[in-house]
Amino acid sequence: MSDKNLIIQKIPETLEKNYMPYAMSVIVSRAIPEIDGFKPSHRKLLYTMYKMGLLTGNRTKSANVVGQTMKLNPHGDMAIYETLVRLTRGNGALLHPYIDSKGNMGRQYSRDMQFAAPRYTEVRLEKICEELFRDMDKNAVDFVDNYDSTMKEPTLLPATFPTVLVNANQGIAVGMASNLCSFNLKEVCEATIAYIKDENVDLLEYIKAPDFSTGGALIYNEKTMREIYETGRGSFRVRAKYNYDKKNSCIEIYEIPYTTTTEAIIDAIAGLVKNGRIKDITDVRDETDLDGLKITLDIRKSADADAIMNRLYKLTPLEDSFSCNFNILINGTPRVMGIRSILKEWVTFRINCIKRQTQFDIEKKEAKLHLLLGLRKILLDIDKAIAIIRNTENDEQVIPNLMEGFGIDKLQAEFIAEIKLRNLNREYILDRVGEVETLQKEIADLKDIYASEKRIRQIIIKQLGEVAKKYAQPRRTEIICETSIEEITQEHMVEDYNLKLFLTEQNYIKKIPLVSLRSNPEQKLKEDDVIIQELETHNKAELLLFSNRRTVYKMRIYDIPDCKASSLGEYLTNLLQLEEDERIIYMTATDDYSGWMLFSFENGKCAKITLESYATKTNRRKLANAYSDLSPLIDIRYLAEDTDLVAYSSINKVLVFSTASINPKTTRDSQGVQVLKSKKGSRMCAVKTLEESGIKNPDYYRTKSIPAIGCYLRAEDFEDRQIRIDCT
């Protein structure tokens, strides 16, 4: 292509010329709702049904409505039908549906349930639509030409209540979007009445919170809700509602958040079960029927239904958030407004509607009054009127002659001339003329209404009261205070079960559920490795691991992966990032840091340290100086309560003592107190429980107070292999 054929276009100019008209068209004429609560597609559809007589008549095929709507809406028939479906009672998307439907219209809460074709379904307008079209024929709103100028359509619907707040509406335009939640009709009407009386009213006292057609439970935070009411932006959470059937061990979910679907929820739950993140659910299925939505979860009989649901709220769309963006077109300009501003604009809109219809009534009545005043003039001489008509030779002269004979204008003369001969009796004329006074009073009253905004506001209040009385329904979405909701932490999402921990000499730890251990008790270890400690506990306990470097490592047991007896387990050197030659020598698990740790040293001292000393508010996972280093450590053990222990010296001296005689310390590296006295340079070389020692007469070795030297080991106890102590 030669340079001569190149056309240079400046991007800003091209955007302004091509893109901006499209963007404005989408914003103004398609995606953003207006103050009457409708997008153009909704308005065209409902107005078409209104003109078809479907407000009072029988249902008609949806295909018929779609076809008629295409005279106003040039989009495809399926786009029009999808709009119709969302407005129906059968679909359930709206808190107050505008269309009464027969046939399958799909469901708001279902992603996969398809609506039937328009040739199979039938529709008509709901009774509440009377409020949308009231006084429309009295010039309450402007009308414009349709796309081919063959018909007229309204620019807005003169709704007598704030539909924009009553039904949810969502739209995505170009560069902006709109997302309006629905509110309870009665609450909205009462709030609007209160606002008309006092613009500074606290709207939160009347409109408690959003209300959705799918129900659910809204988690209420007053600060957040006030922000949404004032700014039109913000988000709140809605969660599903459920029942627990104890007899059949199943959870029945019967209401879900407006923003999700049953399929999305079931897929999420099934994924959690498949991945092993929730083990107490044995089956999940959709049991939705003609009675309504129901998702059933079969759970184990021993499971806690509330705990399962709390985890599902955190991990699935059973709890979802609704992001508010109250973006509404006001006189062709998109504005994000809070509820107070919306009500202000709506009241202004309704005042204008009532003024226009009042002016229409005034003009109609004045025209009628004008004719009757002419009729009253001929009442004085009916015979004269008849004579004028009879004596007029040409038809076109009848009107001028009447005008001249009675001093009336052309309209009055034509009205008199058109009166039937049978009505030229005195009674008829007196009856008609008697309306003059009534009309004059009505016109005066209408003019007073037109000139008085106070009276117009009273009319709006009266209409709102009537709407609330006729169409109010109880709240569907329950309000639950945020403070009453248990905060779902990582720990809540972890399943708790009984397990056994195995610690090996070569720094391996194995976490095996008891269920798995029963089926396969054979332990696989590395060559030359041995198990040095076994500990039975549960998955939500906290684990303390003491190393030979006087360090204690803390971790949640659920952070350690489950394994089978046939595997080696987790290598603690990597898991805890241990130093070179550092080994874990002891482990204990706790839920509340009750009890003590007892450290026994070669110098005969024992330090009894409260386990609370290892608890930290900052969730530190590594604590130095876990125990004293003044003498080599020969034994470490956890004490849930005081007990009797047996201390052994290197010269076969034995002492039975009670840990109750050792005062507990809070300093982790405390040296402790002397328990076993040294003799001839002896050292303490072991500490065991009475059961471990196998001593047949412990009272022989028992002392009333510590420290003590102890007694030499008796031959009968020495010969017992269970107590042979390596003190070399």
Residue-level pLDDT at 276: 78
Residue with tokens 């805890």: 576
Neighbours of 450 (CB within 10 A): 18
Residue-level pLDDT at 721: 41
Which candidate, 222, 204, 182, places its Cα nearest to that of 480?
222
Residue-level pLDDT at 493: 65
Residue-wise DSSP of 368-381: HHHHHHHHHHHHT-
Contact 266, 312 (CB under 8 A): no
Residue-level pLDDT at 483: 83
Which candidate, 667, 645, 672, places its Cα nearest to that of 656?
645
SS in 3 state form for 663-680? CCECCCCCCCEECECCCC
Residue-level pLDDT at 371: 84
Taking CB atoms within 8 Å and a gap of at least 24, the contacts of 588-591 are 588/535, 588/543, 588/544, 588/638, 589/501, 589/535, 589/537, 589/541, 589/542, 589/543, 589/544, 589/557, 590/541, 590/542, 590/544, 591/540, 591/541, 591/542
Structure tokens at 431: 């009856």
Residue-wise DSSP of 151-197: SEEESS---SS-HHHHS-EEEE-SS-EEEE--B-HHHHHHHHHHHHH
Which candidate, 582, 513, 594, places its Cα nearest to that of 553?
582
Percentage above 70 pLDDT, the chain: 94
Confidence of residue 722 (pLDDT cuts 50, 70, 90): very low
Confidence of residue 488 (pLDDT cuts 50, 70, 90): low
Structure tokens at 42: 């909704």
101's CB contacts (< 8 A; 6+ apart) are 62, 88, 89, 90, 91, 121, 122, 123
What's the whole-number average pLDDT of the chain? 89
503's CB contacts (< 8 A; 6+ apart) are 509, 531, 532, 533, 534, 535, 584, 586, 587
Q: Positive or negative CA dihedral for 227, 229, 233, 237?
A: positive
How far is Cα 279 from Cα 558, in angstroms, rounded to an integer? 14
Residue-level pLDDT at 159: 95
Please state, in angstroms and as integers, the Cα–Cα distance from residue 223 to each residue in 217, 236, 320, 483, 484, following that order: 18, 11, 19, 13, 16
Confidence of residue 610 (pLDDT cuts 50, 70, 90): very high
Position 115: which residue type?
A: F
Which of 65-74, 171-180, 233-242, 515-524 is least confident? 515-524
How far is Cα 132 from Cα 55, in angstroms, rounded to an integer? 11
The secondary element (H helix, E strand) that includes residue 112 is none
Residue with tokens 């610690």: 503
Contact 210, 257 (CB under 8 A): no
How far is Cα 33 from Cα 211, in angstroms, rounded to an integer? 19
How far is Cα 91 from Cα 104, in angstroms, rounded to an integer? 8
DSSP bridge partners of 477: none
Please state, in angstroms and as integers, the Cα–Cα distance from residue 548 to each residue in 130, 248, 272, 621, 638, following that order: 84, 53, 40, 17, 16
Confidence of residue 138 (pLDDT cuts 50, 70, 90): very high
Percentage above 90 pLDDT, the chain: 60
How far is Cα 703 from Cα 656, in angstroms, rounded to an integer? 7
Sheet arrangement for strand 250-255: 241-245, 250-255, 295-299, 281-286
578's CB contacts (< 8 A; 6+ apart) are 507, 547, 572, 584
Quote the DSSP letter at residue 719: S
How far is Cα 52 from Cα 63, in angstroms, rounded to an integer? 13
Which positions are annotated as active-site residues?
A: 120
Residue-level pLDDT at 698: 87
Residue-level pLDDT at 1: 47
Structure tokens at 361: 């009534």
Residue-level pLDDT at 723: 43
Question: pLDDT, tens digit, for every residue of 237-281?
Answer: 999 999 999 888 999 999 999 999 999 999 999 999 988 788 889
Give Cα 296 distance to the centre of its chain: 20
Question: pLDDT, tens digit, for every residue of 141-152?
Answer: 999 999 889 999
Residue with tokens 């958030």: 321
Per the model's pLDDT, the better-predicted residue between 172 and 632 turns out to be 632
Confidence of residue 584 (pLDDT cuts 50, 70, 90): very high
The average pLDDT across 29-34 equals: 82
DSSP bridge partners of 322: 236
How far is Cα 234 from Cα 227, in angstroms, rounded to an integer? 7
Q: Is residue 2 pLDDT above 60, yes or no? A: no
The average pLDDT across 291-308 equals: 90
Structure tokens at 45: 């559809």
Q: Is residue 420 pLDDT above 90, yes or no? A: no
Q: How many CA atoms lie within 13 A of 523 on its CB side?
A: 19
Per the model's pLDDT, the better-predicted residue between 674 and 728 turns out to be 674
Which of 2-6, 70-74, 89-93, 534-538 is least confident? 2-6
Please state, in angstroms and as integers, the Cα–Cα distance from residue 12 to each residue in 17, 25, 64, 119, 491, following that order: 9, 19, 46, 48, 55
Confidence of residue 166 (pLDDT cuts 50, 70, 90): very high
Residue-level pLDDT at 645: 92
Structural domains in the chain, sorted by start: 38-158 (3.90.199.10), 241-317 (3.30.1360.40), 355-467 (1.10.268.10), 498-723 (2.120.10.90)
Angle made by CA atoms 621, 626, 630, in degrees to the nearest 5: 155
Contact 672, 662 (CB under 8 A): yes
Question: pLDDT, tens digit, for every residue of 688-710?
Answer: 998 888 888 888 888 878 898 88
Q: Which of 247-251, 392-396, 679-683 has the highest mean pLDDT?
A: 247-251
Per the model's pLDDT, the better-predicted residue between 170 and 196 turns out to be 196
Can you tell me whether residue 239 is helix, strand or coil? Answer: strand
Can you tell me whether residue 635 is helix, strand or coil? Answer: strand
How far is Cα 188 from Cα 180, in angstroms, rounded to an integer? 14
164's CB contacts (< 8 A; 6+ apart) are 33, 34, 35, 36, 37, 180, 328, 342, 346
Which of 165-174, 467-476, 513-522, 582-591 is least confident? 513-522
Please state, in angstroms and as integers, the Cα–Cα distance from residue 388 to each residue in 296, 325, 382, 384, following that order: 89, 72, 10, 6
Per the model's pLDDT, the better-predicted residue between 409 and 165 turns out to be 165
How far is Cα 210 from Cα 236, in angstroms, rounded to an integer? 10
Q: Is residue 204 pLDDT above 70, yes or no? A: yes
Which of 16-25, 372-381, 564-573 is least confident? 16-25
Q: Is residue 342 pLDDT above 80, yes or no? A: yes
